Amino acid sequence: MTVKSNHVTIKGIKDGLVFLLDDRCEFESLLEELRYKLEYSHQNILTGPIIHVDVKLGTRMISEEQKEMILDILKQRGNLLVRSVESPTLDGDKVAEGAIMTLSGIVRSGQVLHHEGNLLFLGDVNPGGTITCTGDIFILGALRGMAHAGVDGNEDAIIAASYLAPTQLRIAETISRPPDEWENRETSMEFACLRDGKMQIDKITSITRVRPDFNVFKGV
């Protein structure tokens, strides 16, 4: 078996190893190279005392299932002890109520981006990609995948996107499957919210009718 790509870089640090995993290649290619390097080209690090490992995924967004796939490969090597995994989707830091976290990139098919709080995402969510938040979701880009705001039951959460053409929207426990005419609507920024327990879509200029707290511009 020969793997010629360079998606996995292993660097030694003072108290262990850092695994730098390419955030642009296909996920399966990443796993394949990780297995190969641990089994063939880096056998010398698999013997001896326990080694602490920090895994850095760059801007790659992964699901919990994908995280476990990576950890399972590393755990098969008895002396590797994973200390941390750094990824946008695995960031558990809490933000103050009302604050907005800004992230950028592309959520591709099969990827899940989750955030605790409100999120401003600069980029596209492709079909098969998912964004979930406990608060509001604002997407400066195209939403063609699935978005779930208010995952903890916040029915006041909203979902807004520059181009709203999702496969599914969800706010709290209310699910809306978009109609066939999504693609024929105006290309203006829109948002989704719950009114009387039903999903409603409106232009972003009407957002203060639903959320008066956004009306901060006083004019001159």
pLDDT tens digit string along 174-195?
998 665 545 555 667 899 999 8
Domain extent listing, the chain: 8-89, 100-214
Residue 14, token pair as written in the block: 């003072």
**pLDDT, mean over the chain:** 82
Res 200 pLDDT > 50: yes
Segment 57-111, tens digit of pLDDT: 887 877 778 888 999 998 887 678 888 888 764 444 444 455 788 888 888 888 8
Give mean pLDDT, residues 114-128: 89
Q: What residue spans of 57-175 are helical by DSSP H? A: 64-75
Res 2 pLDDT > 80: no
Q: What is the pLDDT of residue 6?
A: 84
CATH number assigned to the domain with residue range 100-214, chosen from the 4 options 3.30.70.100, 3.40.50.720, 3.20.20.150, 2.160.20.70: 2.160.20.70
